[in-house]
Amino acid sequence: MHLIWFRQDLRIQDHAALWHATQQGPCVALVVLSPEQWQLHQDAPIKIDFYLRRLQVFKQQLEQLNIPLIVREVGLWRNLADEMLALCQNLQIDSVHAHIEVGVNELQRDFKVQQRLEQQQIRVELYHDRTLFPLASIRNQSNQPYQVYSAFKKKCYERLILDVPSAYPVIASQDLLELPAELTHFDLEKFAGRYSIENSEKLWPVDETHALQMLDDFIEDRLSSYQTDRDIPALNGTSQLSPYLNIGILSIRQCIQALFKQHHGYFQIDDLGQQTWLDELLWREFYQHTLFDFPRVSRHRPFKENTDKLQWRHAPEDLAAWQQGQTGIPIVDAGMRQLLATGWMHNRVRMITAMFLCKNLLIDWRLGESWFMQQLIDGDLAANNGGWQWCASTGMDAVPYFRIFNPVSQSQKFNPNGDYIRQWVPELAHLDAKSIHEPYAKNPDRELDYPKPLVDLKSSRVRAIEAFKQL
């Protein structure tokens, strides 16, 4: 018998480990829930709720394939190897199948489990599934990992021209497999109830059909204008698929196949919208590979090691104002409040809010990274860390330290009518399209139920540049 260990990949379609395991014989499925580990990783409550809601649907999908699901609660990963061995021996498991995960803690967990099981002649098969290309396979001429996105992207394009990764075949149902009730009994509903978030089901449905429909709708309706619309936070111009990709309801191969479906899965760029979304998917790829190739970024270290010496401000009150969307900079506050209310933030606004924290407020990017992880439904270590280090000028192929977004001009450019601010900062909704971006600019004594700006944008920009020059 074979065991499929599901982690951030709760789907039955296009699943490498599931397909390979089912080709070898009868299978059982395993999901391990680790609340203490989630806490250590600062996983957002809305992300845990999303995962657990998905797990309940996923269990039913596996039942239709006659694959029993075993759910175990093991608080910390360090205690997992013994638990896995006992389970495998109990079920007389021949092999365990799972997908590679790239964080340092995940790699250590899998190494220990693999070591323990293989000592007892239980084979462990790990597959590349989270990325388009196997980790460590995108290399420069010196066989080193790329450190610049544009060169990495070019290499990926070359690979895609040769072959666009295709989806795995659909899985057939296996013969009915009965397991002892004590193995499969786990009150998932009760466990999930501990993490339930009101209204999250409305915001973020968890069935596969919904996710695939979202993907199709995006490709059909919004892809052609994606290049321009993706930057406008008041529009529904992005795919909003990141939560579904992150916990594996969708695979990256399904996205890439949908992108090229008009060409029957062959690489052909027709328009800028298509190319821009492909480039966004490859940024995700770049950060996943970076996390694997440079594990220090998984350990709260900057990629550019000299930036570790940067003198960040200790300003807990400013940090709290930023977290709650009370900075006095409307576009920043709108983004931070959207995050608190929905667990998601528009990508352009993620960059604006992040750069405001680590440049204008000169607060350590790690505090921002941590706050985002605690709130985001799509919180992914690789993408979140990569984005924050890009904004802080400490990371791989980061923005130069002297290029600092002005949040007001960003707001004027990408939210000209102020609709996004009106939605999330209702106390400013009555202002006209000009003054809503900086309500106190013309009249500092204006009476509004809204805070004055925490900092002067011009002088705080100079302060940040000076701090970087000291390195």
Q: Which residues are catalytic?
A: 280, 283, 312, 347, 365, 388
CA 376 – CA 390 distance, rounded (Å): 18
Tell me the longest C-alpha to C-alpha distance in the chain. Answer: 75
| Residue 265: both structure tokens together | 């899965």
User: Which SS3 state, helix, strand or coil, does residue 38 take?
Assistant: helix
CA 404 – CA 465 distance, rounded (Å): 9
| Residue 15: both structure tokens together | 């699943």
CB 335 within 8 A of CB 141: no
CA 188 – CA 296 distance, rounded (Å): 36
DSSP assignment of 153-166 equals HHHHHHHHHH-PPP
User: Which SS3 state, helix, strand or coil, does residue 440 take?
Assistant: coil
Helix axes 272-293, 381-392, angle to 10 degrees: 100
What DSSP state is assigned to residue 138? -
Total count of residues recorded for the chain: 471
Helices H, strands E: what count in the chain? 22, 5
CA 89 – CA 83 distance, rounded (Å): 10
Instruction: Name 49's Cβ contacts closer than 8 Å, sequence gap at least 6.
Output: 192, 195, 196, 197, 200
Phi, psi of 61 (to 5 degrees): -65, -40
CA 139 – CA 268 distance, rounded (Å): 23
| Secondary structure of 414-439 in HEC code, one letter for each residue | HCCCCHHHHHHCHHHCCCCCCHHHCC
Kind and range of the H or E run holding 73 = strand 69-73
Strand order across the 69-73 sheet = 69-73, 27-33, 2-6, 95-99, 123-127
| Residue 98: both structure tokens together | 């799972």
Q: Are strands 27-33 and 2-6 parallel, antiparallel or unpaired?
A: parallel
Angular region, 427: left φ>0, alpha ψ -120 to 50, beta rest? alpha
